[in-house]
Amino acid sequence: MSLDLTEMKNGSHTLPPFSSSLAALGGSLTLTSSPPSLPLSPVSFPPSPTSLSPAAAESARSSSPVSDLAASQCLGQGDTSDQDDLTCLSWLHQRGDLLPLQPLTKVTTLPQRQPGQLPPPVAASSKPPYSFSSLIFMAIEDSPQKRLPVKDIYGWIVSNFPYYRTATGGWRNSVRHNLSLSKSFRRIQRDKSQSVGKGSLWCVCPEYRPALLEGLRKTHSYHGTSSCLINKPALLDGTSYEVPAVCDTVEISDSLSHALLLSSSSPQMHTPFSEDLPCPLTPDHEELVTMEPHEYQLHEVSEDTEKDPLSDSGYIELHYYESDQCQYLVLPSESELDLETVEILQLDVEAQEAAGSLLDLAGGVY
């Protein structure tokens, strides 16, 4: 069975398939074979390689979708000397293509676009939902030494949140203001012997780290749940979208018959399997759509999309597809997941990722 993804701007565009398995047993969710590097965010388009920090860009170039390093670091395997902290955020490096977690662009009225006009840049230029405290926290946690000068905090934010690339300089004032005012951050004198540049280093106060993590998680959850999956007003107006003629093909396994359209950056974009949908799809919204197997040409399943072996043992297999246009989360047909469950699955994964995948171990944070 194949899945045609539409409106790829060029035929060589590839949609890297990712697979994530979630253990949905006993009411709790635990990441299993999938490292936190898996881009399961419903709200982010990966920044372009040029927008990544050098470390993140290198990571994006070199790391496979399943990074053993990231998995071992954040899932408590292998060397844990530097990763045994409950708030391991080192995956930020490994998953440089995931952060920043941009907010969903919530569009209730669709912008008009002239034929041939490129879709406007969305998400990337929208303001991140994170507070400055969260941004600073992420920046510091993403540093090897867990301490950064303010200049590098600026740099991290700019590298990971394109919004701030073009924003006026006031946000830097806000960052400094936040560093000074917030009890969550502590100033450390640089080692004079090897001091380069001015200013101090800033680190996270350990006692405030749980609060920062919680703030991060709340922000993430809020912006996930706020995007209703169904019954959006925009869906009720009968709007439908043409099927673009230019398609790329994504091959998926026969067991997958549902796809969650996580987001779309193009106003004209819609899922390629929308023709027989009970309701029209709306770009920039999350939708659960049903794929009709008979609608699609059969293709040999590629190696990349092989079914996760764990899926035969009670795990829920999720496949993730993304392009610069849209993101899909493809669900197994036998999973009997409803929209709410899907959303919970996503949020749970995201929350765990945002908290270093280890909140479960922190003692009933959930």
Partner DNA sequence: CGCCAAGTAAACAGAG
Partner DNA sequence: CCTCTGTTTACTTGGC
Interface with DNA (CB under 7 A) = 130-133, 149-151, 154, 168, 170-174, 176-182, 187, 197-200, 202, 215
Q: How far is the CB of 81 from DNA (least distance, A)?
A: 29
Residue 66 class from Cβ within 10 Å (0-12 exposed, 13-18 middle, 19+ buried)?
middle
Identify which of residues 33 and 131 has a Cβ nearer to DNA in the complex: 131
Identify which of residues 152 and 308 has a Cβ nearer to DNA in the complex: 152
Identify which of residues 91 and 161 has a Cβ nearer to DNA in the complex: 161
Q: Which residues contact 273 (CB under 8 A, 6 or more apart)?
A: 3, 4, 259, 289, 290, 291, 292, 295, 296
Q: Which residues contact 51 (CB under 8 A, 6 or more apart)?
A: 124, 159, 162, 165
Q: How far is the CB of 339 from DNA (least distance, A)?
A: 23
Identify which of residues 182 and 271 has a Cβ nearer to DNA in the complex: 182
The residues with which 287 forms a beta bridge, in sequence order, are 261
Q: How far is the CB of 190 from DNA (least distance, A)?
A: 8
- Tell me 251's DSSP state: E
Query: What DSSP string describes 297-324?
Result: ---PPPGGGPPPGGGGGTEEEEEEEE-S
Q: How far is the CB of 191 from DNA (least distance, A)?
A: 12
Identify which of residues 135 and 261 has a Cβ nearer to DNA in the complex: 135
Q: How far is the CB of 177 from DNA (least distance, A)?
A: 4
Q: How far is the CB of 153 from DNA (least distance, A)?
A: 8
Gap between the Cα atoms of 364 and 289, Å rounded = 34
Q: Which residues contact 157 (CB under 8 A, 6 or more apart)?
A: 135, 139, 164, 171, 175
Identify which of residues 154 and 320 has a Cβ nearer to DNA in the complex: 154
Q: How far is the CB of 3 from DNA (least distance, A)?
A: 37
Nearest Cα residue to 24 out of 286, 242, 332, 287: 332
Half-sphere exposure of 351 (CA within 13 A, CB side): 22
Identify which of residues 110 and 167 has a Cβ nearer to DNA in the complex: 167
Residue pointed to by tokens 């899909």: 328
**Whether 113 contacts 127, CB under 8 Å:** no
Gap between the Cα atoms of 287 and 159, Å rounded = 30
Scanning 191-248, the segments in alpha helix (DSSP H) are 209-225
Q: How far is the CB of 105 from DNA (least distance, A)?
A: 17
Identify which of residues 14 and 174 has a Cβ nearer to DNA in the complex: 174
